[in-house]
């Protein structure tokens, strides 16, 4: 009887030990995603960086970044002349800083950190040390100045446009000719399988898609011309939420066809467009994307390159902290 009790106790202790080990070894539950993105324009005679160079590009941006961020304007002193001099000095400093950042973006690219959680999007300008947390369902945008440790909460309720993290195009929108017109639009596409490649520790599959469009027999608001682009991309299996809040109903995804067919122009399509790269769902993280113009004045002279890396899956505590105002921050006036 005594031995049996000891054996039973030993079994219970062993089972308890296993349960503790199992609980300790349980994998963390991930609720969010974060990664860094480097986007740049490449103008001839410069050449586009190949896949697998994200780490070098990332380190170069950090090395070339200014050591400090321009301080907030000092209180005006010394009467009218002193205040005017202070304003001119601050404006000159800010203009110089903006010019330096623009030059760095052209040579090194723009470094952005993106995070997704709970339907929210956080966008960090790593060099400028600023961030915006978009909580569209709550009609709220939180602006963070990470260098000065200040924040501002913007109420976006009633805004005409949805909350968008992507940069808006510069300048005034071009007028679209709504007059009727017709043309023949011939589309050809060719895809080449580049095989598997591991980028930043992430397995990807590569392909090159070449698209050519020819516009002929144009009448009215349509016009003859041609458009061509080559797109090299390496796509992972990581699912990424959209970078913007829900769009208005009826608005579709823009394609290269939309660039040449606008307003009242009604084309007659020729060829097969089902295999083109823009027909993909776009919900998978592209670790590398290079677009080269093949026609027009920019043919062979302009490329856009996007590289991604530093992929990090977020636990709930990490995500909650990332999408909240950090401790010690004060509200900006």
- Residue 31: pLDDT over 80: yes
Domain that holds residue 56: 30-36+51-60+83-164+313-331
Total number of domains constituting the chain = 2
Whether residues 95 and 143 fall in one domain: yes
Whether residues 144 and 207 fall in one domain: no
Q: What percent of the chain has pLDDT over 70?
A: 66
Tell me what the mean pLDDT of segment 102-118 comes to.
85
Tens-digit pLDDT profile for residues 283-298 = 899 999 999 988 767 6
173 domain residue, yes or no? no
Whether residues 151 and 208 fall in one domain: no
Whether residues 305 and 327 fall in one domain: no
Tens-digit pLDDT profile for residues 168-219 = 333 444 567 788 999 999 988 888 999 999 999 999 999 999 888 899 999 9
Reading the block at residue 186, the tokens are: 């011939």
149 domain residue, yes or no? yes
150 domain residue, yes or no? yes
Whether residues 121 and 188 fall in one domain: no
171 domain residue, yes or no? no
What is the pTM (predicted TM-score) of this model?
A: 0.75
Q: Are 232 and 202 in contact (CB under 8 A)?
A: no
76 domain residue, yes or no? no
Tens-digit pLDDT profile for residues 134-174 = 998 888 999 999 999 999 999 887 654 444 444 433 344 45
Whether residues 124 and 191 fall in one domain: no
Q: How far is CA 165 from CA 131, 245, 257, in A?
A: 11, 9, 24
Whether residues 152 and 200 fall in one domain: no
Nearest by Cα to 38 from 104, 119, 100 = 104
Whether residues 135 and 117 fall in one domain: yes
Mean pLDDT of the chain: 78
Confidence of residue 95 (pLDDT cuts 50, 70, 90): low
Reading the block at residue 185, the tokens are: 């639009």
- Residue 241: pLDDT over 70: yes
73 domain residue, yes or no? no
More confident: 257 or 63: 63
- Residue 2: pLDDT over 90: no
- Residue 101: pLDDT over 80: no
| Distance, CA of 311 to CA of 308 (rounded, Å) | 8
């Amino acid at each position: 009887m005594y031995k049996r009790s000891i054996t039973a106790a030993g079994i219970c202790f062993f089972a308890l030990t296993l349960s503790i080990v199992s609980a300790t070894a349980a994998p963390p539950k991930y609720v969010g995603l974060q990664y860094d993105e480097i986007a740049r324009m490449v103008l001839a005679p410069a050449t586009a960086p190949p896949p697998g160079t994200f780490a070098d590009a990332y380190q170069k941006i950090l090395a070339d970044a200014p050591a400090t961020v321009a301080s907030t304007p000092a209180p005006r002193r010394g009467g009218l002349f002193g205040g005017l001099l202070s304003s001119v000095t601050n404006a000159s400093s800010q203009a110089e800083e903006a010019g330096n950042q623009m030059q760095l973006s052209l040579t090194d690219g723009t470094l952005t950190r993106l995070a997704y959680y709970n339907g929210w999007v956080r966008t960090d300008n790593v060099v400028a040390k600023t961030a915006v947390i978009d909580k569209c369902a709550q009609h709220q945008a939180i602006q963070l100045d990470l260098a000065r440790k200040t924040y501002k909460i913007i109420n976006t309720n009633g805004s005409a446009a949805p909350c968008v993290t992507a940069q808006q195009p510069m300048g005034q929108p071009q007028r679209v000719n709504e007059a009727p017109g017709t043309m023949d639009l011939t589309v050809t596409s060719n895809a080449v399988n580049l095989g598997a490649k591991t980028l930043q520790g992430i397995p990807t599959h590569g392909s090159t898609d070449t698209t050519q469009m020819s516009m002929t027999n144009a009448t009215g608001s349509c016009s003859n011309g041609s458009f061509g682009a080559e797109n090299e991309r390496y796509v992972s299996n990581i699912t990424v939420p959209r970078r913007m809040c829900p769009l208005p109903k009826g608005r579709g995804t823009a394609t290269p066809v939309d660039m040449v067919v606008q307003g009242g122009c009604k084309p007659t399509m020729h060829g097969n467009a089902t295999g083109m790269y823009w027909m993909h769902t776009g919900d998978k993280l592209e670790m590398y994307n290079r677009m080269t113009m093949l026609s027009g004045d920019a043919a062979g002279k302009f490329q856009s390159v996007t590289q991604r890396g530093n992929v990090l899956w977020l636990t709930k505590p990490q995500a909650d902290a990332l999408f909240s105002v950090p401790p010690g921050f004060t509200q900006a006036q």
